[in-house]
Amino acid sequence: MRVIVTGGGTGGHIYPALAIADKIKEKQPDAEILYIGNKDGLEQEIVPKHGYRIKTVSSRNLERSLIGLTKTGISTFKGILECNRIMKSFKPDVVIGTGGFVCFPVMYSASKYGAECYLHEQNAYPGKANRALERFVEKVFLGFAEASPYFRHPQKHIYTGNPVRKSFFKVDKKAAREAISIKDDEFLLVAFGGSWGAKVLNDEVYRLARKYSGIEGITLIFATGNVYEAYFKELVEEGGVNLGDNIRILPYIDDMPNYLGAADLLITRAGALSIAEASVCSKASVLVPFPKATGNHQYFNAKAVADRGGAVLIEEKDLTCEAMDQVVKAFMENPLALKTMEEKSGRCSSGDATEIIYRSIFEDK
């Protein structure tokens, strides 16, 4: 079995593709898997570390200006020609795309080559590339059922949820707390804005950190994001305060399964992957969508979970220290309400999405 997986630009496209590739390799150890990514994408760094061979092709985000559209057209045409050569040499049986503009030349070329093609859409509001590619594929796997109306061929849709790493399914709260040195009776608040961070979150969580500093019974762990690590330190220095031992500031969380597993409440952006990981761990969240995300898809992601009772949605324009503190205090004073939201968050997960995807492609013919 020869399989191509593709998806790129951001971790939100790359990691689901890798999770699907891992499932295929688990089920079919002899399968030959090739990853096709963007020449300028993060996948060039991430994919080889996961043990997969990668080839890159030309692709470019869609721009509205005449010059931008022309550049996108040229890049896409060049990418299709590059993909045609890869198809002829690799001869894939199956091609699976997880979004990002690199998907378009890969999936278009693969469909013309005659390979079985499948898409996975992570967000509640689908991207332009996936919407355009729907007609070329056998099935579209949905991370959120709410995405279906934005496509044109509902008969192709299968709700799978979003693929997450195996380690999230094995998390035990007590063991996770031991791993990161958190007492059982502490209320643990974990906040993060992704690897790049988010200035608004840094500003307001800094105020929250000052408010909670030294208070018994609550611990705040905040990942500033690599870009904002120095910025947060400046805020602390300019504020002239020493944050207490119950406040932990990190540039980035590498061991996300244990930090999520140990948490009572999360404060995070509303990327599809972050939501999927929280749901698999049955964690209550305060979701703060990034308002400039393509198509405002993070808002639709957050609304889908909040409407099911699995999270609190706070738009960035409404994000304040006071708003977050109000949610934290409400849950600390009412553990039953927290437990209810945890259960509803867990019900937002479909379980092992990669297993559903694998069966749909290779077994449920």
| CA neighbor of 305 nearest in space, from 332, 331, 280, 323 | 280
Between 60 and 292, the more confident residue is 292
Residues 126-150: tens digit of each pLDDT: 988 889 999 999 999 999 999 999 9
Residue 238 has pLDDT above 90, yes or no: no
In the CATH hierarchy, which top-level class contains the domain 167-347?
alpha beta
Report in angstroms the alpha-carbon separations of 158 from 116, 154, 155, 356: 16, 9, 8, 9
Report pLDDT for 170. Answer: 86
Q: What are phi and psi of 96, to 5 degrees?
A: -125, 125
Assigned token pair, 299: 């808002």
Residue 196 has pLDDT above 70, yes or no: no
Fold of 2-161+350-362: Rossmann fold (3.40.50)
Q: Residues of CATH 3.40.50.2000 domain(s) within the chain?
A: 2-161+350-362, 167-347
Report pLDDT for 62. Answer: 67
Between 195 and 275, the more confident residue is 275
Report pLDDT for 228. Answer: 75
Report pLDDT for 11. Answer: 81
- In three-state secondary structure terms, 93 is coil
Lowest mean pLDDT among 45-49, 136-140, 324-328: 45-49
- In three-state secondary structure terms, 81 is helix
- In three-state secondary structure terms, 141 is strand
Report pLDDT for 316. Answer: 95
pTM of the model: 0.89
